[in-house]
Amino acid sequence: MEKNIADIRKEYVKGSIAASQMPQNPIEAFQKWLDEAINSKVEEPTAFNLSTISEDGQPHSRIVLLKGVENGKFIFFTNYKSSKGNDLLFSPKVAINFFWPELERQIRILGTANKIPSEKSDAYFYSRPLESQAGAIVSNQSSEIDEHLNLAEAIEHLLSNPKEIIRPAHWGGFEIEPHYIEFWQGRPSRIHDRIFYQKTVGLKWKKGRLAP
């Protein structure tokens, strides 16, 4: 008998949070939760959903990987000519979400994305495995391609000519500067804990609690 998805439920019992127990700086709180996710061997702890808005007003979401937190900003890398790259160059406003079901936690972040300096993109690009470097070069990300195009052969060609592996100008990093961060901890009976941080006019963080 087919299960009614409306009947699927899970009781969240693994933890609780209170505003008084959270650091005044949300980046410190984020780093603590990320470390706990990594140490708990959560599947893909650095993966987050990135939501953008395209030029026609259509929201788009996809999963990307966090590659650093520097000066309070969240860093990831992509092809600037990809759909997300085009979206971000059109409108830098983003929403991102980390979800760690094993810990019954999520973190929601609203902010603004901007390109990082090219030297930082170089440093990360050349730290990647050669295969990944070559893949970034041969893939015209998000564009339609012929099904007979053999990207694997193109990668092999580049690997046999490593001097040709140079970071393309259209590939690099973005940094997201947050203005709102919310920490969510699942609780029994759907009375979830939600602690938010809102950046004020003076660039200080206001901390508070939201109804579940």
> Which residue in 62, 108, 187, 190 is the catalytic one?
190
- Angstrom distance (rounded) from CA 175 to CA 203: 18
Q: What is the CA radius of gyration of the chain?
A: 20
Report the DSSP beta bridge partners of residue 180: 110, 198
Report the DSSP beta bridge partners of residue 126: none
Task: Report the helix count and the strand count for the chain, using DSSP H and E.
Answer: 5, 9
DSSP assignment string, 57-83: S-EEEEEEE--EEETTEEEEEEETTSH
In the annotation, is 167 catalytic? Answer: no
- Angstrom distance (rounded) from CA 84 to CA 50: 9
Report long-range pairs for 97-100 (Cβ below 8 Å, ≥24 apart): 97/48, 97/49, 97/51, 98/34, 98/37, 98/47, 98/48, 98/66, 99/49, 100/33, 100/37, 100/40, 100/42, 100/45
- Angstrom distance (rounded) from CA 148 to CA 145: 8
Residues recognised as catalytic: 190
